[in-house]
Amino acid sequence: MATLAGIIQRVRSEVGDQPAPFVDTFIGGSELSSYDLSEVNVTSVQAKVVTTDPAGSVDLVQDTDYVLNPAEGSILLINPDYSPLQHGQTLIVRGTSEGMFSDADLTVYVTDAMNQHTYGRTLRTRYRDGNGNIAYDLEPVDLDSLPPVEEPLVAYLAVINVLWTMATDASSDIDVNTAEGTFVPRSQRYRQLMEHLAELQQRYNTLAQQLNVGLARIEMFQLRRISRTTNRLVPIFQSREYDDTARPKRLLPPIDGDAYDDESGIPSPLYPGTWG
């Protein structure tokens, strides 16, 4: 059974955006109360103040002794005993950085990838109802029912969405040329991302075609017939198994837009029972 945490871990491995631990040390100078950490998107922060006179250490409590800005990676001391950090006091901050993308960000990408990959697919389960008749239950395919062979495909599609975000950020970088002859090809990052995107998209498409899944899978549809006497679409019903005793389910396929509407305003003749 696929899990959200497992797919997020796959995405982090593909992008190379693994969490990283860090330790920052700040020496007090009786001037500052706010400090920038060495990482952004930080989690699991533990902060303490070490004093030399008298020797000892005090563990700080978040929102009581300090306020943390996880996205920007900064810490603000709010306890008057340490704000500002005095001479002889040392602030030690330990934590873990989530990397470029937080778990909340990757959850959005994985959710979008899951919706795209399983669009229009249902899982049909055969069972007996309370009367002993055979019935079928249709449920949308989700993470709990996703076949294990398709878990990498969802991860690949989420990585593609992540790389598109990174490529959008890199698209604004321009090459730098200086009068001294220095050349910095900053646009090369965008080109490399686009090349990798094309390769990853091809990998996903190849595997999806072999399994016949995803938005480009081969589907079987029913052609709708128009009655020659009423000029109306003949209703169609969902195909059923031989032993399915449930009531027929009406299908309402989409109708093409009215691109050829008559805008003259002249009413058409109506013949009851024949046209309408």
Mean pLDDT by 10 residues, the chain (276 residues): 90 90 92 90 89 87 91 91 89 90 91 93 84 83 91 95 92 81 83 93 95 89 84 86 84 74 75 52
Instruction: Give the separation between CA 202 and CA 251, rounded to whole angstroms.
Output: 34
Helix, strand and coil percent figures for the chain, each rounded to 5: 25, 25, 50
pLDDT of residue 257: 63
Contacts of 54 (CB under 8 A, 6+ apart): none
How much is the pLDDT for 272?
Answer: 52
Whole-number pLDDT of residue 270: 62
Domain regions of the chain by residue span: 1-18+99-218+225-251, 20-97
> What CA–CA distance (Å, rounded) separates 51 from 28?
10
Instruction: Provide φ and ψ at 37, rounded to 5°.
Output: -80, 165
Residue 172: predicted pLDDT:
85
Encoding tokens for residue 233?
């679409």
